[in-house]
Structure 1
Amino acid sequence: MPEHAPGLHRRHVTGEDVQIRAADRVAPYGVTNWVRNARAAGQVTLRRAGRRETLRVTEVPAADRVPILRQYWREVPVTRKFFGTTSTSSDELWAAEAQRHPVFHLADTDSAVPDGRS
């Protein structure tokens, strides 16, 4: 795989692809490159089933992430090892964990277009 270069698009399928609410994306692995890129650009491009869609992103404040992260933890067990919490953890422990796991609200920009890939 070539070295990362600005403007180079990569396609990754990860736990972030799981939607908790229709408009939220969780970063279960913490602040990774896709999180840094989303913060810098203010948008993400998702590809699925031959369609490409660019969406605006707004980071959910850490104080508002606890219920989203709890639900994500319940519904996506493969990522649980990246959380320092359990189903019985206190809200305070979940709030501390929320600092490590960004959550983004996605807003439609009406930009769904054919991807051109098979």
Structure 2
Amino acid sequence: MYRGGRAGAVARILNRLSAKLYAAGLLLPSHAVTLEVTGRHTGRPVRLPVAITEYDGARYVVSMLGPDAHWVRNVRAAGGQVALHRRGRTAARLEEVPPADRAPILRQYLAVAPGARPHFPVDRRAPLTAFEEIAGQYPVFRILI
């Protein structure tokens, strides 16, 4: 579905459907939300389903497709300004986490987002050192509201 790090036709259809259902709060789990960010080229809102990961009292979103995912580029271009949808709209800012601090968040992410596991070269139960080795390849953003 994500050949070459990009969503294929089936993934795009499923993402659109999931984004609508998550925004309406109709799908479980509760950590599933819709992220809305302004497109860097079109200026139009782009919406996609994401899993929120909680770690050490903070909430995060992770790019399972790495730094070249379009939503990551859009968030960076928008200065981190986004909206989160789940039974309502909440304005938020995403602050990128330095690679040195990402490992425990990535491990927690794989625990709550089983659909992301095939995109990571480590097992969700791997030691923290394994996540430290790949942390630079997977952007992590802290949610600030």
Whether the TM-score (by the shorter chain) exceeds 0.5 is yes
Structure 1 residues 6-25: aligned runs within 5 Å: 6-13=42-49, 17-21=50-54, 23-25=59-61
The structure showing larger relative contact order (alpha-carbon pairs under 8 Å, at least 6 residues apart) is 1
- Paired residue for 1:114? none
Taking the aligned partners of 1:29 and 1:56, their CA distance within structure 2 comes to: 20
1:82 Cα offset (Å): 0.4
- Structure number with larger C-alpha Rg: 1
In structure 2, distance between residues paired with 1:88 and 1:12: 27
Once the two structures are TM-superposed, the CA of residue 71 in structure 1 deviates from its matched residue by: 1.0
Q: Work out whether residues 117 and 124 of structure 2, in 8 Å CA contact, stay in contact via their aligned partners in 1.
A: no
Q: Where do 4+ consecutive residues of structure 1 move more than 6 Å?
A: none
Q: Matched residue pairs, number?
A: 101
| 2:53 match: secondary structure | coil
Decide which structure has greater helix share: 2
Which structure 2 segments of 5+ residues have no match? 1-38
Query: Alpha carbon RMSD of aligned pairs, Å?
Result: 1.9
Distance 2:108 2:117 in 1: 11
The runs of 5 or more residues in structure 1 that have no matched partner are: 109-118
Taking a change above 3 Å as real, the CA distance of residues 87 and 46 of structure 1, as seen in their structure-2 partners, is closer
1:28-72 deviation digits (Å, cap 9, x = unpaired): 1212111111112222122222x2222111101111111111111
Write the distance in 1 (CA, Å) between the matches of 2:128 and 2:89.
37
TM-score by length of 2: 0.61
Q: Which residue of structure 2 lines up, in the alignment, with residue 47 of structure 1?
A: 85
